[in-house]
Chain A
Amino acid sequence: MMWLLVANGLLYLGFLFFHGEWRDIVPRRGDARDAWQMLRFYLFVRKDHPAQAKHNALQKSAYFAMPVLGILIVLSGLAIWKPVTFSFITALFVNYKWARFVHFVAMALLLLLALVHVFMVFAVDPYSLRAIVTGWYNSARSPEARNARPFYHLFGPGRETPASREVPPT
């Protein structure tokens, strides 16, 4: 099972690298500021959705953290699976105990990110479910275009699109 997960992870990383998709998630200067603005938007401090590229800054950091955590999990996993044969990998994590600590914490963080990720799909961008299957994304319905916060639909449709005013009579 774990070998299947590792193969799957390698396939993903290979695609990310050779297809150039890594450019969408690699951290860049200004990400911290943008992430702060996204947080302000989600907390109703800021009214309009910050401008974004393919992903917003919070997504970018999460999607970058996931493969990093995955690599940490595989390495620390090898370190506690074969602490004698792979003692050089165990040494990367100082010792066996720290390798176990890293393995557990990285697993918990990855699980947390995955749960938040799936939550956000349903809470702010249910239209992306279509993109999972078709590969085609209608950006007119992106959270940015709809000014969507988590559970935007619970706050009524009027909030997202400012009602257009009637043309005043001359």
Chain B
Amino acid sequence: MSLNRRRFLTISAASLGGALASACNKNPERAKKLLSLAERGNQRVEEGLFRHTAMNRVSPSAPIAGASFPKYHISKTVPVWDTAARGVWRLEVSGAVRRPLSLTLDDLMKLPRITHKVDHFCVEGWNARATWSGVRVSDIARAAQATDDAQFVDFAGFDEDYHESWDMASAMHPQTLVAYGMDGYLLTPAHGAPARVHSPVKLGYKSTKYLTRVVFMPKQNGGYWSDQGYEWYGGT
């Protein structure tokens, strides 16, 4: 009897596993649909949990990563803004705004400056601490007079076609910056000079480096890693 049951269990386990495996192989669209359904469910939970009052607090005595802060870009070589070829670097703020902006680095530095020591969380599992200086994205949205249509923000840069779009709530978090300084110095090309997005409330891949465009939008438009299967929301 126990042998029969054992065989029954083995057969049912094998057929269930086989059915799942073949369903994924034969019908990748259906598997993809199931996964995106799960991602949407997760996203709703994450959006429900998100609070502007939940901050990343780092003790003032906590050590910073310094030179060991990981460097990363998708181009073959470190992207450097070529002033001779492209003119003065400007940050274009456009889309669902009443007053589109075109800010030079000096303009950006005249806006209210935030300097804070926060964590950077990577999807790979590591975290690294740095002191970032920059302007709140919420202050940029206010300066550009973002309209009610601005439900999402796309951050695009000159590191090939790298971009990532965000939900408005996360972009308006007080710790979400367009940063131009790191540990007291202006950004180096390895860390996204002249300016980059930085926030502890999103995973690192959502924070576009080598930033050139901030576009407020009524709909999200994916992103470099989000389009390759990484979670679009990517919140912490």
**Residues of chain A whose beta carbon lies under 8 Å from any beta carbon of chain B:** 1, 80-87, 96-97, 100, 126-127, 129-130, 133
Contact = CB atoms under 8 A, between A and B. Distances in A.
B5 interface: yes
A126 B1 CA distance: 12
Contact of B56 (A84, A129, A130): A84
Given A96-B127, A100-B125, A85 B2 contact: no
A82 B56 CA distance: 10
Interface residues of B, number: 21
Which of A82, A100, A126 counts the most B-chain CB atoms under 10 A from its CB? Answer: A82
Contacts of B2: 126-127, 129-130
Q: Which 3 A-B pairs have the closest CB atoms?
A: A84-B236, A84-B56, A85-B54
A127 to B, nearest CB: 7
A82 B5 CA distance: 43
Contact of B5 (A80, A87, A133): A133
A85 B51 CA distance: 7
B49 A85 contact: yes
Contacts of B57: 87
B54 A84 contact: yes
Nearest to A130: B2
Which of A1, A83, A97, A126 counts the most B-chain CB atoms under 10 A from its CB? Answer: A83
Contact of B236 (A1, A82, A126): A82
B6 A85 contact: no
12 contacts: A1-B38, A82-B46, A82-B49, A83-B236, A86-B49, A87-B55, A96-B119, A96-B127, A126-B2, A127-B2, A129-B2, A130-B1
